Amino acid sequence: MSSPTVAPPARERILTTAFALFYAHGIRGVGIDRIIAESGVAKATFYKHFPAKDDLVLAYLDRVDEAWSGQLHEAAAAAGPDPAAQLVGAFDALGNACRRDGYRGCAFINAAAENPAGSRIHDRTLAHKEAVRSWLTGLADEAGAADPSVLARTLTLLLDGGLASGALDAQPDAPVAARAAAAALVAGATAR
């Protein structure tokens, strides 16, 4: 005898639905009524968990941050204990992201493009980008880079360019080229 399937809590259903819809159609392209209908919750339940659409968007971005940052950290760790190798290894996450079915680029860049500077959503995108840059700066420092912040900034620009290229032209060589460029940058910045 199998146990009955229990539906996930309402908040989780809303967030899972929003995640799929926002990424596929854009934040402004998806209305609250569609999220309510597709998540199977009542309007009152939706607003109990997310008083405003921006609250849901921020929760969505938190979930994206958790996933993407996790992928970056896992790819870096898979490269081994050497911080310079980890800086380059992080680019393996780029290849995995760009090959995903339905890939539409960086959710943070997309969100920033749809929301004005100074809004809570735009500020959340900046916080994510700063957290990635800060992590890379730490690795660059551990790797002995002459100027860790410049190397990290350059690598984040390369990551963002690779994410954008994956959405724009979907060329399978873009992540490979980005990784090769990262390797050259890291080697040059850490050469003694």
At 37-50, the pLDDT tens digits run: 999 999 999 999 99
pLDDT score of 95? 84
Q: Where are the domains of the chain?
A: 1-51, 54-190
CATH topology for 1-51?
Answer: Arc Repressor Mutant, subunit A (1.10.10)
User: pLDDT higher for 61 or 4?
Assistant: 61
Task: Identify the pLDDT of residue 7.
Answer: 60
Distance, CA of 65 to CA of 46 (rounded, Å): 22
Of residues 88 and 2, which shows the higher confidence score?
88
Q: Report pLDDT digits (tens) over 58-96.
A: 999 999 999 999 999 999 999 999 999 999 999 999 988
* 127 half-sphere exposure, CB direction, 13 A CA radius: 13
Using the 8-state DSSP alphabet, how is residue 4 labeled?
Answer: P
Which CATH number does 54-190 carry? Answer: 1.10.357.10
State the Cα–Cα distance between residues 94 and 72, nearest whole angstrom.
8
The larger pLDDT score, comparing residue 76 to residue 173, is at 76
Burial 151-182 (b: 16+ CB within 10 A, else e): bbebbbebbbebbbbbbeeeeeebbeebbebb
